Amino acid sequence: MKYDKLVLVLNCGSSSLKFSIIDTVEKKVYLSGLAERLYLKDTRLIWSTSHSSKKNIILFNKEIDHNEILKIIKKEILFKNKELFNRIGVIGHRVVHGGRYIKKTTIIDKKVISHIHEASIFSPLHNPINLLGINFSLENFPKLYKRNVAVFDTSFFYSMKEKSYLYAIPYSLYNDYGIRKYGAHGTSHKYVCMKASTFLKKPFSNINIISCHLGNGSSISAIKNGICVDTSMGLTPLEGLVMGTRSGDIDPSIIFFMYEKLHYTIKEINELLINKSGLLGLSQSTSDFRDLELNYYSDERAKLAIDIFCFRLRKYISSYFSLMDGELDGIVFTGGIGENSSLVREKSLKNLSWFGNIFVDYKKNNNSFKKNDNLIIDISKNSNVPILVIPTDEEFAIAKESFSLFF
């Protein structure tokens, strides 16, 4: 069978689902869409095609899960664009965690699915959802059964040295069970690093940046000479920054206290740290950053949640300066929050001027940033270090890597 060269990308996130049909050779997006606020009472589905400027929107007055939204996307979008759908030759899937065995982009088979499932213990909020997208694709698009590809967020971080990825626990736990720092959002960090390289006119192999991917899940990476030397997420996507519903860094003894003194079960602790903490836990109202930002000046808990989010981010940015040996080409903000929240960019860079004259141009920072323009904006002013807002495009990166395995 002859296959066309378009790539269908399914990027199943913890609270969203992005999908695209992309020609990576012509760098053309024929169809793109987003299902957001999944599992909330106002889920919405937005999509558009290249032959129309119209945005199509379906609003739901109920909670929608990933399985249901995938069925809707298949019926109402993909199958109603049959001519376009028939040109798909590859399906690319984002997978957060490859575990200790999968270190690069790979064609999906039963063994790969088994490894993704095993790695779910390290990414319980994501890998099972990534598998939902994979299994849906395998079951519903049989002609492309052997042309499904998994692109792993963890792949970018295998360049880290032992001093970065090992925990100070008995070495046998790493040697026997693979307990180490794996990172996440690698596809996004690598993509914006490449875009920064082009923008700054510096070879990718020489680029040094601090990349901040901020969204419902957030992470920060120190990238030196195009290689990641450290990242905030760890064995699982729970470590590091404050996130939508995840706690980020905590004292491990808190777990023992909750278990021994407060009589939480292990299952309850796990649920609390992954699904009930972060911005949601601090604000006691929502995990959606847009809602919190709207109420920043009127709601004390919303303000507290954002202030802690930015405080933690600023600490990480500061610490990653020390890994650059005085050679930092830029600080990058990306992801839903990084690209759209001028408040976060301002607060997280506050008082960093002593790190080589880092200053924000408040006018540029506060201008409306339109992701559809696909522009890179430097929001620095009289600064030795550029501060770049780069729209991430994980879907294009996934499509490109998936395409490369077949064509």
Q: What is the dihedral of CA 291, 297, 301, 307, to 10 degrees?
A: 90
Point out which residues pair with 11 in neighbouring strands: 18
- Looking at residue 317, its pLDDT comes to 96
Whether 270 and 370 map to the same domain: the answer is yes
User: Among 117-131, 257-271, 309-323, whose mean pLDDT is lowest?
Assistant: 117-131
Lowest model confidence (mean pLDDT) among 136-140, 219-223, 379-383: 379-383
Contact 231, 188 (CB under 8 A): no
pLDDT of 372 reads 47
Backbone angles phi, psi at 222, to 5 degrees: -100, 120
8 A C-beta contact, residue 152 and residue 98: yes
Clarify whether residues 139 and 227 are in a common domain: no
Q: Do the domain assignments include residue 288?
A: yes
Q: Within a 10 A sphere around the Cβ of 125, how many other Cβ atoms?
A: 21
Residues 127 and 44 in one domain: yes
Q: Show the tokens assigned to 350.
A: 């506050």
pLDDT tens digits, one per residue of 16-52: 899 999 999 999 999 999 998 888 888 899 999 988 8
Together in a domain, 216 and 281: yes
Domain-located, residue 335: yes
Which residue in this structure is represented by tokens 């860094």? 249
> Of 159, 175, 194, which closes a domain?
159
CA distance linking residue 12 with residue 187, whole number of Å: 14
Q: Catalytic residue, from 4, 23, 153, 393: name it.
A: 153
Contacts of 318 by beta carbon, 8 Å cutoff, 6+ apart: 352, 355
301/372 same-domain check: yes
Structural domain count of the chain? 2
- pLDDT computed for residue 249 by the predictor: 98
Could you tell me if 135 and 206 lie in one domain? no
233, 116: one domain: no
The answer to whether position 75 is within a domain reads yes
130 located within any domain? yes
The C-alpha atoms of residue 186 and residue 205 are separated, in whole angstroms, by 17
Domain-terminating residue out of 129, 159, 189: 159
399 within some domain: no
User: Taking the CA of residue 182 as centre, how many other CA atoms within 13 Å lie in the half-sphere pointing to its CB?
Assistant: 27
Alpha helices, DSSP H, located in 261-368: 266-275, 278-283, 289-294, 300-321, 335-340, 342-348, 362-366
Model confidence pLDDT, tens digit, residues 228-271? 999 999 999 899 999 999 999 999 999 999 999 999 999 999 99
- 256 and 125 co-located in one domain: no
Is there a single domain that holds both residue 224 and residue 356? yes
Residues 6+ apart with CB under 8 A from 351: 314
Q: Is 153 a catalytic residue?
A: yes
Cα–Cα distance for residue pair 329/384, rounded to 1 Å: 9
Tell me if 33 sits within 8 A of 40, measured CB to CB: no
Q: Could you give the CA distance from residue 191 to residue 121 in angstroms, rounded to a whole number?
A: 27
Tokens 């997006």 belong to residue: 29
Report yes or no on 373 lying in a domain.
Answer: yes
* 251 shares its domain with 378: yes
Q: Are 97 and 182 in contact (CB under 8 A)?
A: yes
In three-state secondary structure terms, 200 is coil
Look at residue 182 and tell me if it is in a domain.
Answer: no
Residues 106 and 220 in one domain: no
Tokens representing 156? 């970018």
Same domain as 150, residue 89: yes
Beta bridge partners of 47: 33, 56
Model pLDDT for residues 325-340, shown as the tens digit of each residue:
889 999 999 999 999 9
pLDDT of residue 3 exceeding 90, the answer is: no
Domain stop point among 133, 159, 185 = 159
CATH number of the CATH domain containing 127: 3.30.420.40
Residue 86 lies in domain: 6-159
Residue 179 falls within a domain, yes or no? no
